[in-house]
Amino acid sequence: MIPINLPKIGEEEVQAVVKVLRSGMLTSGLGAGPMVTEFEKNFAKFAGVKHAVAVNTGTAALHSAVVSSGVKQGDEVILPSFTFVATAEAVVLAGGKPAFADIDAQTYNLSPSAVEKSITKNTKAILPVDLYGFSADMKPMREIAAKHGLALVEDAAQAHGTTYAGKPAGTFADAACWSLYASKNMTTGEGGIITTDNDQIAETLRMIRTHGEKAKYSSLMLGTNYRMSEVQAAIGNVQLQKLPSFVAKRRQNAQQLTKILEKSSRLILPWESKDRQHSWYLYTARLKDGTETERNKIVEELKKKGIGAEVYYVNPVHQMPFYRENFGSTKLPETDEASKQVFSLPIHPGVKAEQVDYIGKTVLSLL
């Protein structure tokens, strides 16, 4: 089976972990051990910002960023439903109410016009997602946030290597949240990190991750234990160095797959432009005018032929029982249609050129 994603771990990561284990310094009470501090410095440079705050999961990154942006009990946060549930989870954990808005049909990202229509007197923040590794349209989002005095938090969980207007993902947000889960373009096994240029947000994030403390046994705010371990950070430092080559291989595979699949008139293929460059976390095609049953059959047949095709977000968050029962039903026609037609194909760095060829030709034969 060619898996949809696969972490690429080498001897360098192994040796980095061994070095930490032998040092005896596995973590820090305030979350800022030497490896974590180095990783934060390196990631901030990569993201082109002043601050990076490392935490133990991408969900922790989202929750911390939402809290640090000022979201409190009853505040509304506008976000897409076409995303992993952690995006909405973070809002609810902060005491906020998710206000789901529809997506742009071409990019699958939160639609700026839908955001504008969703703003109420209770809106506190906007939370766009860089879905599949393609940036949300952040300049209009920034303008809307400024116009209405809203915080702008970017879910960049899948965006390692993504660029928008020639800059790394997250540049236009008050804070951006990255996942370092095993399937992502780079990994620390589990892990997350928040990037920001805002000094106050960075200070709040550091307190949230370690029980609200600046100094031990002196909590200044409600916090939790979201610390990243020294082992995770050691892996992250190595992976970050390898990230450009990982993304380059993903792009190469994506371009090869597109050349094969563009022969079919039945597919809508991933889109990018000079101003918005993909990280190719997932290569997501769409079955034009297809039914959910037909799409599911194609994915089932691909798996039978050894291709780990997947459908991401087959149940958008607004359709999930917990969110429907607690926050009411919402009409999101573009989201609902996309969820029935999209499917993702393997293009990670471990996929060889002949495998890309096999994937593409198999899809064509099934169509």
Q: What CATH number did the domain enclosing 59 receive?
A: 3.40.640.10
114 and 38 in a single domain? The answer is yes
- Residue 59 resides in a domain: yes
Domain co-membership, 220 together with 167: yes
Last residue of a domain, one of 212, 239, 266: 239
Residue 110 lies in a domain: yes
Whether residue 71 is contained in a domain is answered as yes
Total of domains in the chain: 2
How many whole angstroms separate alpha carbon 11 and alpha carbon 23? 18
Q: What is the pLDDT of residue 29?
A: 83
Residues 209 and 255 in one domain: no
Domain hosting residue 358, numbered range: 243-366
Residue 88 forms part of a structural domain: yes
Clarify whether residues 158 and 70 are in a common domain.
Answer: yes
Residue 2 lies in a domain: no
Q: Are residues 194 and 312 in the same domain?
A: no
**C-alpha–C-alpha distance, residues 307 and 297, integer Å:** 13
Same domain, 41 and 134: yes
Give the Å distances, CA to CA, from 154 to 63, 94, 334: 12, 16, 21
Domain shared by 100 and 231, yes or no: yes
192 with 247, same domain?
A: no
Q: Which among 239, 269, 303 is the end of a domain?
A: 239
Predicted local confidence at residue 367, as pLDDT: 95
The domain boundary, picked from 191, 223, 239, lies at 239
Read off the tokens for 183: 């399937």
Query: Widest CA span of the chain, in angstroms?
Result: 64
Phi/psi of residue 315, nearest 5 degrees = -115, 95
Same domain, yes or no: 161 and 298: no
Is 360 within the bounds of a domain? yes
> What pLDDT, on the 0 to 100 scale, is given for residue 31?
85
Query: CATH no. for residue 252?
Result: 3.90.1150.10
What pLDDT does 102 receive? 98
Cβ(112)–Cβ(119) below 8 Å: no
Pure H helices in 48-109: 58-68, 86-93
Where the chain has pLDDT below 50, the residues are none
Residues 331 and 284 placed together within one structural domain of the fold: yes
248 domain residue, yes or no:
yes
pLDDT at 42: 98
The region, left, alpha or beta by phi > 0 then psi within -120 to 50, assigned to residue 358 is: alpha
Query: Are both 259 and 210 inside the same structural domain?
Result: no
**pLDDT tens per residue across span 151-163:** 999 999 999 999 9
Q: For 291-337, how does the pLDDT look when each residue is reduced to its tens digit (9 = 90+)?
A: 999 999 999 999 999 999 999 999 999 999 999 999 999 999 999 99
Query: Are 18 and 46 part of one and the same domain?
Result: yes
In a domain, 97, yes or no: yes
